[in-house]
Amino acid sequence: MTFDDAALQLLTGYPWPGNVRELENAIEHAFIRCRGEVILARCLPPHLQPSASPTKGRLSFERLRRVSGIATKRHDNWGCTARPYGEKCGSSACSHLSQRGTKEIEMRIRNWRDQVPYIGHETKIIWPLLTRKRDDGEDPPDSAVLLSLGSLTRHMVQGRITTDYHAHENKEQVYYFVSGRGKMLIDDKEFDVTAGDAVHLAPKERHQVINNTEDDLEYLNITALMPDSA
């Protein structure tokens, strides 16, 4: 496997705050997308692309605090397990213990760039973030934390790609589109979707994502299991 000049330029010009682990996941991401011997710049993750801006579309910390009216702490603790809130740590799957009233609860933070993606529904690239807490221990403990929801995943449909047309018998889902635009086919009706749209999918509703542009279409998938299957 080799890299073209443009890809090498992007890789060497990025600061890599996640260190080696983030670099490894970026290369795996590119390998899945390009599926060839040469890794091209366009196959690298979106945050490495020349047009990517880490502050684009985000409120500054100070403005967020003023707008929300609450005392918000800047969170720069990526990747600890069971450390008190505010203590420095060093990986991207993060677990904190926090006091709310008299009850100690555990908070976990995971970054999609640190997760290993896989191909789902034939053509989607999926990054697992949070999953349901189960007794069998099949999922890593830092991700298997959800008590009522089924899962939270990040999905990407590449340009000019259409996913399979499918339904879930016992799952309710929300697709929240974070970048790009395209279409969704839901029970044989076609709808335009764009960044900022939230699409509700009831159990047994057939659905399909259609990317009819050259750009990637990205969204978060929030899944809840119906009571009889939870």
Strands 124-132 and 144-146: parallel
Q: Is the CA virtual torsion 196, 197, 202, 204 positive or negative?
A: negative
% of the chain exceeding 90 in pLDDT = 34
If you average pLDDT over residues 127-154, what whole number do you get?
A: 84
Phi then psi dihedrals of residue 128, to 5 deg = -75, 135
- Give dist(CA 93, CA 77) in Å, integer: 10
User: Which residue segments constitute the domains of the chain, with CATH numbers given?
Assistant: 1-59 (1.10.8.60), 75-109 (no CATH), 113-230 (2.60.120.10)
pLDDT attached to residue 173? 98
If you average pLDDT over residues 100-123, what whole number do you get?
A: 74
pLDDT tens, 13-25? 888 776 777 787 8
Q: How many CB atoms lie within 10 A of CB 78?
A: 18
pLDDT tens, 153-191? 999 998 999 999 999 999 999 999 999 999 999 999 999
Give the predicted TM-score (pTM) of the model. Answer: 0.63
